[in-house]
Amino acid sequence: MKASEYLAEDGVFSTYVDGYKVRHSQLALSDAIEDAIKNKKVLVAEAGTGIGKTFAYLVPAINSGKKVIISTGTKHLQDQLFRTDIPRVLKALDVPIKIALLKGRANYLCLHRLQIAPHLGFMSKVTQSQLVEIGQWAGKSVAGDISELSAIEEDAFVWPMVTSTADNCLGSECASWNDCFIVKARKKAQEADLLVINHHLLLADMTLKEEGFAELLPGADAFVIDEAHQLHEVASRYFGDTLSSRQLTLLASDAIAEQVNDAPDMTEIRDCANQLEKATQDFRLALGDSAEKQAWASIKYKPSVVTCLSELISALSDLSENLEVASERSRGLDQCYQRCLLLSQRAELFKRDNELADAANAILWYETYSKSFMLHSTPIEVSNLFRKYTNNFSAAWIFTSATLQVNKNFNHFSDAMGLEEFDSGIWLSPFDYQRQSMLYLPENMPDPSSYSYTHTLLEKVLPVLSASKGGAFLLFTSYRAMNEAKEFLQDKLEFPIFIQGELPKHQLLARFREAGNAILLGTSSFWEGVDVRGGALSCVVIDKLPFASPGEPVMQARIDAIKNNGGQPFMEYQIPRAVIALNQGVGRLIRDINDHGVVVIGDPRLTSKAYGRVFLNGLPPMTRTTQIKDVENFFKEKMTETEGEHEAAGA
């Protein structure tokens, strides 16, 4: 049977999956994916929202009889696939295959790290209490996945203390090796017919960096890359290098903990580790203000930076010399020594600077936070690197997302990822956007760079929010605009208002859904990967076209590279990225066949600039208007329809 036959009206899914609805575009996509897996093709597939692309690739993947690796954009999607979607498909297909879920090391408790955690320096009472709670959970957990312990926030200070990295993992010499959660998860992954990972783990494994799971990928017959539009940015990270204050301070604390355990007579290790911590703090102060993200060239000659970088390298050198002597005492001390050498090399890169970066076709840059920093070496382009790695695998590659094409072609994605020979297609959403939605483009908006722009937009949005009776996302391209909106709206609306940053993202969304009529103000993290169905969300407001700041160092380096090669960076790079980001933002609105709502885009460049047509061509076929009266009538009609449906249901 073809994959589509299982998903058709008389297929098994109609019987075994509650609420299943046949989507003809899903059937066609499933057959295309089946063909790609069978014949080891590369397929780039844009699957419109609501098409059911998850089932479209799971059915041929499971029925193929091959080892398939599915990579998702986030850990949340990983869990949803593994715990919800795959079990439903397996039940319908009744195929006995082995499945596994594998995350990066930082998601699994390390029993050795848990043992030495009390020696990692000063910790608050909260952290001490959390360590006790983790210790109790460790004795009961089967998988050791830290997401099981939901009582402790995923970004809590305690987690790096009790999870491992490839640098500090003791490997087979660890006393807890036979009970290691990562070893068990990796073994299941190797034995699985269908393995679910995420892009970070995919790239880490592909580049043999950080995770140490390099034996996974060569055994796969097919790779399905879901949310593939995120892959380029993840690849940029993993094909580069980073030196962070967190890496340095963790090295210092680990060195002390290992010294206490296995070299109590070598107190000089503690002295050198303390000096490294001080040098790290001094270097952070030398970098200046927080929230900076600049090219390294802008600060590399600053006297205090030059001095503090030299002191940091010297502190690493001193610690390295002492750890080398102690490295024979234990695997833990040897690991600290190897990490020290690696971080020294990365620090030297920023001292020697352009000669090495230019040779690697990379941009050096830094970013600062209130108490920490990160130094990055990022490749200006990843296409050749990604092509080199994917060519090592004789396998099918399926790249899919709701947003991959720009102006009806896939050149932006294929060029960025180094794809040469591939099939492609656009499988349209089953949603009736003409009936379910409206695009409102307010008239007489000032230039987006105008000081009054945000205020003017919010004035025009107020009647929309009144007509929708709340239930809105207001998505901004900057924190400044979001905060201005917060000040403007707080005494003008009767609806609850939630602001990004007030609570963790998942809690904010939960409260938004529960309220049913709330307003949520957010920036980039709410433009994608957020799914709110039903009446809780009936309006999405987007302030400006989401062009990335050209002052961002990696962006500027890529713009310069395109210019140097005789290209047009605005049309070839900046616009395609912004088109995909806008489509993601607009895609938050209609998530179900019963949803309805209005998208408001304030940016007048959509109609005043020639390139605005490229953005409009990429949007769903919504009814378009410039009149607020049309918006008000739209909501009145939809509310009348809803009331009629409720009355009919009651009868």
Judged by average pLDDT, the poorest of 217-221, 245-249, 419-423, 576-580 is 217-221
Q: What is the CATH number of domain 3-97+193-234+385-427?
A: 3.40.50.300
Which pLDDT band, with edges at 50, 70 and 90, does 651 fall under?
Answer: very low
Span 120-143, pLDDT tens digits: 777 788 999 999 999 999 989 999
Span 505-555, pLDDT tens digits: 888 999 999 999 999 999 988 999 888 999 899 999 999 999 988 788 999
Do the domains at 241-379 and 433-650 have one common CATH topology?
no
Span 85-104, pLDDT tens digits: 999 999 999 998 999 999 98
3-state SS of the chain: helix, strand, coil percent to 5?
A: 55, 15, 35
The DSSP annotation for 408-459 comes to TB-HHHHHHHT--S-EEEEE---S-HHHHEEEE--SSPPPTTSTTHHHHHHH
Which pLDDT band, with edges at 50, 70 and 90, does 445 fall under?
Answer: very high
Residue 568, Cβ density class (10 Å: 0-12 exposed, 13-18 middle, ≥19 buried): exposed
pLDDT for the residue 210 = 45
First to last CA, the chain: 43
Bridge partners for 624 per DSSP? 439
Q: For residue 285, is pLDDT > 50? A: yes
Q: What is the CATH number of domain 241-379?
A: 1.10.275
pLDDT for the residue 452 = 95
CA distance 582 to 568: 21
Q: For residue 344, is pLDDT > 50? A: yes
Query: 168 vs 333, which has greater pLDDT?
Result: 333
The DSSP annotation for 230-261 comes to GHHHHHHHHTSEEEEHHHHHHHHHHHHHHHHH
Global pTM reads 0.90
Say how many residues make up the chain. 651
Both tokens assigned to 243: 């030196």
* Mean per-residue pLDDT over the chain, rounded: 91
Span 561-571, pLDDT tens digits: 999 999 999 99
Distances in Å between the Cα of 411 and the Cα atoms of 326, 417, 497 are 54, 10, 40
Which pLDDT band, with edges at 50, 70 and 90, does 650 fall under?
Answer: low
pLDDT for the residue 172 = 83
Judged by average pLDDT, the poorest of 67-81, 157-171, 338-352, 413-427 is 157-171
Span 299-316, pLDDT tens digits: 999 999 999 999 999 999
pLDDT for the residue 20 = 83
Span 225-277, pLDDT tens digits: 999 999 999 999 888 889 999 999 989 999 999 998 899 999 999 999 999 99
Q: For residue 212, is pLDDT > 80? A: no
Provide the H-helix boundaries in 107-180: 111-116, 125-138, 159-162
Span 593-643, pLDDT tens digits: 999 999 999 999 999 999 999 999 999 999 999 999 999 999 999 888 766
Q: For residue 74, is pLDDT > 90? A: no
pLDDT for the residue 360 = 58
Span 173-200, pLDDT tens digits: 888 999 999 999 989 999 999 999 999 9
What is the arithmetic mean of pLDDT over 423-436?
A: 95
Q: Which amino acid is at 5?
A: E
In the chain, the percentage of residues whose pLDDT exceeds 90 is 73
pLDDT for the residue 167 = 74
What is the arithmetic mean of pLDDT over 573-597?
A: 94
Domain ranges (residues) in the chain: 3-97+193-234+385-427, 105-181, 241-379, 433-650
pLDDT for the residue 211 = 43
pLDDT for the residue 326 = 94
Element housing 341 (H / E): helix 331-352
Q: What is the CATH number of domain 433-650?
A: 3.40.50.300
Which pLDDT band, with edges at 50, 70 and 90, does 209 fall under?
Answer: low
